[in-house]
Amino acid sequence: MSAADVNVTRFVLETVAAEIVEKETYFGDLDAVVGDGDFGFSLARGFEKVLEDLPDYPTQSAAAMIQAAAMTISSRVGGTSGPIWGTGFLRAAMTAKTAESLDGATVVSMLRAAVEGIQARGKAELGDKTLLDALVPATDALEEAIAAGADSSAAVQRFAQEMRAAAERTTQLQARRGRASYSGERSIGSPDAGAVALAVLAERVADRWPERQGGDASPRKE
């Protein structure tokens, strides 16, 4: 992979990690509505370590950098979020290893692989009121945008827009996985914390996208 791919990967990891740390209280408050409220704290502690270690992550490829982040997340994020998020990052890294560049098709494949890993680890399906209910529709929207010829800025914006809309739609669902499922029908009426977190992160990446170094290495279709 090119240096541009590595630069864009570093940019996304840094942006996501910094936003998670900044939004610790907000994510915790979202989780506290029907969960145990530790979601924000758990994520922030792990991604603080990602920020700390990012300068020392391998730079020979984007895949190696993402894999290093996956290892940090798996070992430092507490509760159920560590295995779930760590698996998602790891599956994305494994897919990136087989690609020559982070073009649009590769990014979509990485996201699909992350979804499959999360489903296998969390035993969740669409409609269970989890982050998958935001991630899957957003990935579909990204793929459609790329197929329609959108440049990377437009594609990232479309991804973020659908992530937000899908996260808001989880308000209508009853939680069937995780601690939130214990609240039964009381979980209807509030959005899933993980889905909203993904929306916040996608929006932050989209907002900062013009600041990246490496041009349109990702996710523009070549």
Q: How far apart are the first and last CA of the chain?
A: 15
Q: Is the pLDDT of residue 218 over 50?
A: no
The CATH number linked to 107 is: 1.25.40.340
pLDDT in tens, 6-51: 999 999 999 999 999 999 999 999 988 876 678 999 999 999 999 9
Look at residue 182 in the predicted model and tell me its pLDDT: 44
pLDDT at 134 over 50: yes
C-alpha distances in angstroms, 40 versus 1, 11, 17, 125, 154?
Answer: 33, 22, 12, 23, 29
d(CA 67, CA 180): 29
Residue 22's Cβ-side half-sphere holds a number of Cα atoms within 13 Å equal to 9
Q: How many domains does the chain have?
A: 1
Contact 61, 6 (CB under 8 A): yes
Q: Is 222 part of a structural domain of the chain?
A: no
Is 221 contained in some domain? no
204 in a domain, yes or no?
A: yes
> Does 77 reside within a domain?
yes
Q: What is the per-residue pLDDT for 12?
A: 97
217 falls within a domain: no
The verdict on residue 124 lying in a domain is yes
Q: Which domain holds residue 64?
A: 3-211
Q: Is residue 216 situated within a structural domain?
A: no
The pLDDT value given to residue 221: 38
C-alpha torsion sign, points 39, 40, 42, 43: positive
User: Please, which pLDDT band fits residue 58 given cuts at 50, 70 and 90?
Assistant: very high
Cα gap 80→91, rounded to integer Å: 17
Q: Decide if 221 contacts 156 (C-beta within 8 A).
A: no
